[in-house]
Amino acid sequence: MPATPLEVENLSSGYGPTRVLEGVSFAVPAGARLAVLGRNGMGKTTLLATLAGQTRRYDGRIRMGGTDVTALPSAARAMHGLGFVPQARCVFPTLTVEENLFVGLKGRPKSALQEAYDMFPRLFERRRNLGSQLSGGEQQMLSTARSILGRPSILLLDEPLEGLAPVICEELMKAFAELAKTGDMTIVLVEQRIQSALDFADRVIVLERGRIAWSGTPEALTGDHDAVERLLGVGGLH
């Protein structure tokens, strides 16, 4: 399934009676890479969860490749090509690495597992290990690979580097960059490691209190020292 554009129009959502996002609109062209930045608690994870159909939507529209998926449940959005790698990683602890990967094949032949092993050779080494026996970094690789095996046209990544050692972060970001180079996936990345996100993305939005407070290119954000300090709480980026 080739990459498809993502369009979000006037999106408001939250949990129960609590609104978290308010009037969020943006578009990501097919094959582009969007970084979603902001301080903790500003709505980044809620945005991805809403795109994946896991929150209460109050208003707005979500389109994938021109198809309105706003009213579709999570499973149907996945069938339309949406892949979601949540912050919680969500590997099956009592299944082996290989069995976890089988879940992501979505009817593709077993030989397709090699795609996951090529991307993350460490998973091949651990293929007989249970999910519960993996390190945090290995679990993140497994969660990511399982989603990618389904060949989503849009991939949502929620803080994939959280709590991981720098060498693992580097390995993951290299894999994401290789995915992006193919042009086969539109990627939306939420990440607290600001520089890693900016190095990866070709466009950026910054959320503040559930609204888009800034949007533009990574280069423009790097040069906007006031926005960086005010919205992200860091003094500067290189």
Confidence of residue 14 (pLDDT cuts 50, 70, 90): very high
What is the rounded average pLDDT for all residues in the chain? 93
What is the pLDDT averaged over residues 105-114?
92
- Name the pairing type of β-strands 33-37 and 56-64: unpaired
Q: What is the pLDDT of residues 110-130, one digit of tens each?
A: 999 999 999 899 999 999 999
Q: Cα–Cα distances in Å, from 148 out to 11, 18, 175, 227, 236?
A: 26, 32, 11, 34, 34
Burial of residue 157, with CB atoms counted within 10 A of its CB: 0-12 exposed, 13-18 middle, 19 or more buried? buried
Confidence of residue 92 (pLDDT cuts 50, 70, 90): very high
Confidence of residue 238 (pLDDT cuts 50, 70, 90): low
Partnered with residue 6 across adjacent β-strands are: 28, 64
Q: Where are the domains of the chain?
A: 6-93+153-232
Q: What is the pLDDT of residues 42-68, one digit of tens each?
A: 999 999 999 999 999 999 999 999 999
Give the pLDDT confidence score for residue 118 in this predicted structure. 92
Q: Which CATH architecture has domain 6-93+153-232?
A: 3-Layer(aba) Sandwich (3.40)
Q: How far apart are CA 200 and CA 208, in angstroms?
A: 21
Which is nearest to 10 in space by CA: 70, 54, 55?
Answer: 70
Secondary element (H or E) of residue 177: helix 166-182
Give the pLDDT confidence score for residue 1 in this predicted structure. 66
Q: How far apart are CA 172 and CA 88, in angstroms?
A: 16
pTM for the full predicted model: 0.91
For residue 235, pLDDT over 60 is answered with: no
Q: What is the pLDDT of residues 170-228, one digit of tens each?
A: 888 988 898 888 888 999 999 999 999 999 999 999 999 999 999 999 999 999 999 99
Q: What is the DSSP letter of 120?
A: -
Look at 26 and 3; give whichever has higher pLDDT. Answer: 26
Which is nearest to 62 in space by CA: 88, 84, 82, 87?
Answer: 82
Q: How far apart are CA 52 and CA 72, in angstroms?
A: 10
